[in-house]
């Protein structure tokens, strides 16, 4: 018997209890009640991501998001944080390629405080010079550490090779030289051009009614307008690699070499996404990291760890294999991974592998929705990727409908073992042709 039969579908978030409203200025609000906990979770996004950054000032969207809570017209930095902390509440911002994301939590009685603070930071940041200087130094310090991290550098180089001229190829937090050139005027200009109500989504889950949530957001943000809001730029197509590309990033003094290799994957709302993510679970996630972990780590002993990941975004995605290896085992590990990818793209997965994966996916769905934060993040993704409010309730049935043949077809659609980006980072090692 599979886990599907154990799930009460009507208990999952869906159209019957996810309430959605669009304000007259374009703000989208989604909320779900949960009075079993006295708290509320706030999650959301604003379409002000690094895709708007110039190459010369890459990291501007991220810098701006991190500076929003350094002071507003009505509150300085200390007052803002004291206000939240005195109520046991929290709020934070960060930027990704497409969006500036935010999240927070509070007791339900303090939701007005949380939403008013969110509104103040979005509408009226003042970017004080003293804190901008400190924040720039903090970001540069993080980037300096990143340059010595073999895993981070392998991943950055992999993205550059795989995504070419697309914003997905660039790190959202920029580079040391680009962040050094960002001024307070740049932050002010980015905020004026890219923060507005038309691309704002707010999700609230917890001990509060939809009417309360809608009323609070309307009060604090319903009058927000930005006629100067810039449109998203047109983005280049992401072509598949014509052949394998091999690159090594030299970082001296490291005992471990980090390896990232893979190819383009499906975007999040692609029809084959669920088959791809279930296949990825079999390839390099389930149990002791699936087939890849079993072959490369357990049987061959070539890696400290080895697994796969499927990263799917709005326009595209990546299907990656990651491993940490002794430099002397690097080439053997690469060849064994390629061998496993050939197998994955030439024969269907077994029925036992499929059923184990289906049980795993369906069984962990309720667990991911046990907390208000889990529900809020799930609802935000439904809106972000246009999945539909009934997606979670239909999810178990869709997972059960996936066949070995569908996984094979999806794997063949996205993975060509002869056309991979292959990147290693660490101490010097012999690099052979892929």
Q: How far apart are CA 188 and CA 253, in angstroms?
A: 41
* Average pLDDT value for the chain: 95
Those residues whose C-beta lies under 8 Å from the C-beta of residue 8, and which sit 6 or more positions away, are: none
pLDDT band at 201 (very low <50, low <70, confident <90, very high): very high
What pLDDT does residue 431 have? 46
pLDDT at 7 over 80: no
Q: Which of 134-138, 211-215, 254-258, 286-290 has the weakest average pLDDT? A: 286-290
pLDDT at 2 over 80: no
pLDDT tens digits, one per residue of 15-44 = 999 999 999 999 999 999 999 999 999 999
Mean pLDDT of 378-389: 97
* Cβ contact 257:326 at 8 Å: yes
The helix-helix angle for 391-401 and 273-284 (nearest 10°) equals 60
What pLDDT does residue 242 have? 97
Mean pLDDT of 188-199: 97
pLDDT at 428 over 80: no
- Give the CA distances from residue 82 to residues 44, 78, 109, in Å, rounded to whole numbers and listed in that order: 23, 6, 17
Looking at the chain, the domain(s) classified CATH 3.30.830.10 span: 15-221, 245-426
pLDDT tens digits, one per residue of 225-236 = 999 999 999 999
pLDDT at 198 over 60: yes
Q: How far apart are CA 264 and CA 239, in angstroms?
A: 9
Mean pLDDT of 204-222: 98
pLDDT tens digits, one per residue of 314-338 = 999 999 999 999 999 999 999 999 9
What pLDDT does residue 322 have? 98
pLDDT at 4 over 90: no
pLDDT at 197 over 80: yes
pLDDT at 3 over 60: no
What pLDDT does residue 276 have? 98
pLDDT band at 264 (very low <50, low <70, confident <90, very high): very high
The helix-helix angle for 184-194 and 129-146 (nearest 10°) equals 90
pLDDT at 151 over 70: yes
What pLDDT does residue 1 have? 43
Mean pLDDT of 344-359: 97
What pLDDT does residue 430 have? 53
What pLDDT does residue 91 have? 98
pTM: 0.94
pLDDT tens digits, one per residue of 63-83 = 999 999 999 999 999 999 999
CATH code given to domain 245-426: 3.30.830.10
> In terms of CATH architecture, what is 15-221?
2-Layer Sandwich (3.30)
């Amino acid at each position: 018997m599979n886990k599907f039969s154990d799930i009460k579908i009507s208990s999952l978030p869906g159209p019957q209890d996810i309430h959605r409203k669009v304000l007259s200025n374009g703000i989208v609000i989604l909320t779900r009640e949960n009075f079993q906990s006295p708290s509320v979770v706030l999650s959301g996004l604003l379409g002000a991501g690094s895709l708007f950054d110039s190459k010369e000032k890459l990291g501007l969207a991220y810098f701006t998001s991190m500076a929003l809570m350094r002071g507003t017209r009505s509150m300085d930095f200390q007052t803002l944080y004291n206000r939240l902390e005195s109520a046991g509440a929290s709020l934070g911002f960060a930027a990704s390629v497409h969006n500036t994301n935010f999240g927070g939590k509070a007791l339900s009685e303090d939701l007005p405080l949380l939403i008013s603070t969110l509104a103040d930071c979005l509408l009226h940041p003042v970017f004080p010079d003293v804190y901008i200087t400190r924040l720039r130094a903090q970001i540069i310090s993080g980037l300096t550490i990143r340059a010595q991290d073999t895993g981070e550098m392998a991943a950055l180089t992999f993205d550059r090779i795989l995504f070419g001229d697309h914003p997905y190829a660039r790190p959202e937090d920029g580079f040391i030289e680009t962040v050094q050139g960002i001024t307070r005027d740049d932050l002010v200009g980015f905020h004026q051009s890219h923060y507005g109500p038309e691309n704002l989504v707010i999700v609230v889950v917890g001990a509060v009614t939809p009417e309360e949530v809608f009323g609070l957001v309307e009060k604090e943000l319903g009058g927000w307008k930005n006629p100067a809001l810039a449109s998203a730029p047109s983005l280049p197509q992401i072509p598949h690699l014509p052949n394998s590309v091999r690159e090594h990033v030299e970082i001296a003094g490291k005992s471990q070499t980090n390896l990232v290799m893979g190819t383009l994957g499906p975007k999040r709302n692609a029809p084959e996404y669920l088959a791809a993510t279930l296949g990825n679970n079999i390839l390099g996630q389930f149990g002791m990291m699936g087939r890849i972990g079993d072959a490369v780590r357990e049987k061959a002993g070539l890696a400290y760890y080895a697994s796969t990941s499927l990263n799917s975004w709005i326009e595209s995605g990546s299907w990656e294999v990651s491993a940490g290896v002794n430099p002397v085992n690097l080439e053997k590990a690469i060849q064994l991974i390629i061998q496993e990818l050939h197998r994955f793209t030439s024969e269907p997965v077994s029925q036992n592998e499929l059923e184990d994966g289906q049980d795993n996916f369906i069984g962990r769905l309720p667990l991911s929705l046990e907390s208000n934060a889990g529900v809020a993040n799930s609802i935000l993704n439904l809106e972000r990727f246009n999945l539909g409010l009934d997606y979670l309730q239909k999810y178990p049935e869709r997972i059960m409908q996936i066949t070995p043949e569908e996984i094979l077809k999806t794997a063949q659609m996205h993975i060509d073992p002869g056309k991979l980006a292959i990147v290693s980072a660490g101490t010097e090692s012999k690099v052979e042709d892929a």
